[in-house]
Structure 1
């Protein structure tokens, strides 16, 4: 299925596009609740104190673009019933604990511009996104105020260097909640 937006047609994802992720996370408080244990390294990130959410999100995407060969990205918008999912009439895929996501194949520009606010604030970033080659996965779970990522050590090193990103490495079995933040 394809949907129209911004004068273009966009592919809507199907369960086969997330089969590598669906059912491969583990319940609990570790990063592997959001990211399957298939990556070399894991981290969390959230806006540093005093940094605008928009600047933070742009910095995250800029670092990821710099580490990723040009290719489509999958953007996943969690359907909470109260937040923008960009394509409200599109079919959904089920992830994590049977949560419904609209999954759209687009790119970094759309990741930063399509959404008009999410459960973590006024930002634009999707709740879940990854490149077509699955070299990294970014996921923010429904009740977390931070974002998780699984990737190569090189990608996470680049994110950690970005002062607006505020990335912190975590082990796959470590509590993912960043110091100073709390679970809702």
Structure 2
């Protein structure tokens, strides 16, 4: 299949194919570690979710602000997992399969679209896509279907910056550690 573009906000957006996620597909492991969501190719890993008293929009804005500060200007790939219950932004767009053949709509856009295109997801009322990474693949943010938190892999500096932002509530984890943040439970 060739390049597919969709239109939103008066602009054309490129829909991703299996080529854009080939570096990720089949590279994760089954189990409870963070490498279930993030392939073991990064220097550092963390999980995050909103701290008590912080809403999803403020939390997710803080996450994206840190990502922007640690990423040279470039397109981002935004992935919306089709669950049947949550907005995938472009419902008629082709899907790519990831993890356990879960269907994602993958679109090339940027940080502002990541914060504005969707209203609500399986983790709460925020707009953040279920999967996002920059074109250079220097980090990956992924929230699996049944998790109430989000996983990230990237540079040690990025993970440190996320950890130090009080609105993010990031907790560093090793690649073999259980990704479940303290105080949360698995569904």
TM-score bracket for the superposition, by shorter chain length: over 0.9
The aligned residue for residue 38 of structure 1 is 41
1:11 Cα deviation after fit? 0.2
RMSD: 0.5
SS at match of 1:57: helix
Picking from 1, 7, 12, the partner of 1:9 is 12
1:144 Cα deviation after fit? 0.4
Measure the CA separation in 2 of the matches of 1:69 and 1:162: 20
SS at match of 2:116: coil
Please, what TM-score do these two structures have when normalized by structure 2? 0.98
Instruction: Could you tell me which runs of 5 or more consecutive residues in structure 2 were left unpaired when the two chains were aligned.
Output: none
Residue-by-residue CA offset, 1:131-151 (whole Å, 9 max, x unaligned): 000000000000000000000
Matched, 1:117 2:117: no
1:117 Cα deviation after fit? 1.2
Measure the CA separation in 1 of the matches of 2:133 and 2:47: 15
1:23 Cα deviation after fit? 0.5
The aligned residue for residue 68 of structure 1 is 71
SS at match of 1:112: helix
Matched, 1:135 2:138: yes
The aligned residue for residue 151 of structure 2 is 148
Matched, 1:179 2:182: yes
Residue-by-residue CA offset, 1:67-87 (whole Å, 9 max, x unaligned): 100000000000011110000
Picking from 87, 92, 110, the partner of 1:89 is 92
Measure the CA separation in 2 of the matches of 1:52 and 1:33: 26
Picking from 154, 158, 167, the partner of 2:170 is 167
1:172 Cα deviation after fit? 0.4
Structure 1 consecutive aligned stretches of length 4 or more whose deviation exceeds 6 Å: none
The aligned residue for residue 99 of structure 1 is 102
The aligned residue for residue 22 of structure 2 is 19
Please, what TM-score do these two structures have when normalized by structure 1? 0.99
